[in-house]
Amino acid sequence: DAKTTQPNSMESNEEEPVHLPCNHSTISGTDYIHWYRQLPSQGPEYVIHGLTSNVNNRMASLAIAEDRKSSTLILHRATLRDAAVYYCILRDVYTGGFKTIFGAGTRLFVKA
Amino acid sequence: GAVVSQHPSRVICKSGTSVKIECRSLDFQATTMFWYRQFPKKSLMLMATSNEGSKATYEQGVEKDKFLINHASLTLSTLTVTSAHPEDSSFYICSAQLNEKLFFGSGTQLSVL
């Protein structure tokens, strides 16, 4: 699986939007871009994923660069419950059952 | 959404004993499950890929005889930490795949005294 690079940490104020960047310059054409987040003492949870087009769901939006070498997870209004570690990972479309490697992720701090 | 149940959530055991951790996909069948280990403030480290009906594939550096994985059905995978020692103390997490997404258990905090 191709590697991803994320900032170690970011800080946001409550009720403000948050843009979490991810670089994946070695992404292949068959890699999905996935985002997961992990709250303290819990297993990760799925946030969003996409292939080429931008995606929206109830939790967040995913903006994918035209060359697919980077993406941004957008939380439209951060809440204290959004404080977590956010992981950007790549998963192959065809070998989706193949192992998934997690990078260091971005620890998001949300200030009240 | 899909649910993955992991038990126990916390276990304390004496050095030398074995501990079994269960991972169940409650509302879907999972041909493939993954086992991760996580140390405090660190990322998830993949230990092995568990395939239903066949042997697990272990990552380099993970002892097969130490961490026994069984995936006997499409909804259950187990991880047994054999002869546990204090250095095995960690947070263990399982995940199962449904379509393109991964669903994770809530994790098991293992403390070996």
Taking the Cβ of residue B34 and every Cβ of chain A, the question of whether any pair is shorter than 8 Å is answered with yes
Q: Is the pLDDT assigned to residue B88 strictly greater than 90?
A: yes
Q: Is the pLDDT assigned to residue B1 strictly greater than 80?
A: no
3-state secondary structure chain A: CCCCECCCEEEEECCCCEEEEEECCCCCCCEEEEEEEECCCCCCEEEEEECCCCEECCCCEEEECCCCCEEEEEECCCCHHHCEEEEEEEEECCCCCCCCCCCCCEEEEEEC
- Cα A99 to Cα B106: distance, rounded to the nearest angstrom: 19
Contacts of A8 in chain B (CB under 8 A): none
pLDDT digits (tens, 9 = 90+) for B6-54: 999 999 999 999 999 999 999 999 888 999 999 999 999 999 998 888 8
Measure B67 CA to nearest chain A CA, in Å.
17
Contacts of A96 in chain B (CB under 8 A): 97, 99-100
Q: Higher confidence at residue B31 or residue B94?
A: B94
Q: Determine the average pLDDT of the residues in A71-93.
A: 94
Q: From B102, B39, B1, B47, select the one nearest A37 (Cα to Cα).
A: B102
Which stretches of chain A sit within 8 Å of chain B by CB? 32, 34, 36, 41-46, 49, 85, 87, 91, 93, 96-105
> Quick one: tokens of B28?
């879907």
Q: What is the DSSP letter of B16?
A: T
Kindly identify which residue of chain A lies nearest to residue B100, measuring between CA atoms.
A96
pLDDT digits (tens, 9 = 90+) for B73-83: 999 999 999 99
C-beta separation of B105 from B41 below 8 A: no
Q: Is the pLDDT assigned to residue A97 strictly greater than 60?
A: no
B-interface mutation test, from A5, A102, A106, A107, most B Cβ less than 10 A away: A102
Kindly identify which residue of chain B lies nearest to residue A95, measuring between CA atoms.
B100
User: Hey, CA dihedral for A40, A46, A51, A56, is it positive or negative?
Assistant: negative
> Quick one: tokens of A83?
């404080």
Measure B50 CA to nearest chain A CA, in Å.
10
Contacts of A43 in chain B (CB under 8 A): 4, 6, 93-95, 104-107
Taking the Cβ of residue B6 and every Cβ of chain A, the question of whether any pair is shorter than 8 Å is answered with yes
Kindly identify which residue of chain A lies nearest to residue B48, measuring between CA atoms.
A99
Q: Determine the average pLDDT of the residues in A32-45.
A: 94
Q: A102 and B36 in contact by Cβ < 8 A?
A: yes
A-interface mutation test, from B4, B24, B35, B44, most A Cβ less than 10 A away: B44
